[in-house]
């Protein structure tokens, strides 16, 4: 009886080790592409602090410094890009961001961002909408009507 338990324990430990090794290997092979914050060319800022970015995507800041309205566009909350954007740049989980949007909408303080289905469609609508902001996986090329901005403390 004791030999059977020992064999079962060893087999289980082996499976756990293989699973951990496989997961680590899979993560190492697929590096995450960085996320870029993208704005329409009409937006005349070049840098946002992380706090300013959170305020814009939470619907708390609704106007650019020049007085023009901010139009926020996002991908679906199931999108890997959206989830990484929330975690890496906003430092919140996607479900927390959705709850913030619900509170802003139901209290009448603002509107929820428009959800776009694909990254190409997101880039296109940001380019077509003055005052627009969104995010994309770090694009190799930008359309002529969009540009990336830096997120971080101004130098």
Element (H, E) at 133: strand 132-137
Q: In what order do the strands lie in the sheet with 146-151?
A: 47-48, 146-151, 35-40, 132-137, 71-75, 114-116
pLDDT tens for each residue of the chain, 155 residues long: 566 666 666 666 666 667 766 665 544 445 577 899 999 999 999 999 999 999 999 999 999 999 999 999 999 999 999 999 999 999 999 999 999 999 999 998 888 899 999 999 999 999 999 999 999 998 666 778 899 999 987 55
Terminal Cα distance for the chain, rounded: 69
* Residue indicated by tokens 């082996």: 14
Prediction pTM value: 0.76
DSSP annotation of 93: -
Report the relative pairing of strands 71-75 and 132-137 from DSSP bridges. Answer: parallel
Instruction: Look up the CATH superfamily of 35-151.
Output: Periplasmic binding protein-like II (3.40.190.10)
Inter-residue contact 104 to 59 (CB < 8 Å): yes
Tens of pLDDT, residue by residue over 19-51, are 766 665 544 445 577 899 999 999 999 999 999
Q: Report the pLDDT value the prediction gives residue 135, as an integer from 0 to 100.
A: 95
Q: Give CA angle at 68 (149, 52), nearest 5°.
A: 45
């Amino acid at each position: 009886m004791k030999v059977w338990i020992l064999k079962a324990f060893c087999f289980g430990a082996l499976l756990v080790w293989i699973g951990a090794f496989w997961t680590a290997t899979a993560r190492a092979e697929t590096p995450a592409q960085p996320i870029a914050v993208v704005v329409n060319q009409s937006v005349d800022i070049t840098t946002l602090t992380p706090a300013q970015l959170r305020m814009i995507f939470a619907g708390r800041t609704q106007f650019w410094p020049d007085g023009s309205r901010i139009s926020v566009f996002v991908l679906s909350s199931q999108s890997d890009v959206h989830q990484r954007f929330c975690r890496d740049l906003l430092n919140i989980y996607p479900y927390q961001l959705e709850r913030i949007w619900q509170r802003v909408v139901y209290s009448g303080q603002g509107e929820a961002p428009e959800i776009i289905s694909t990254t190409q469609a997101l880039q296109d609508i940001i380019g077509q909408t003055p005052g627009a902001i969104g995010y994309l996986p770090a694009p190799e090329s930008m359309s002529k009507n969009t540009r990336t901005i830096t997120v971080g403390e101004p130098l």
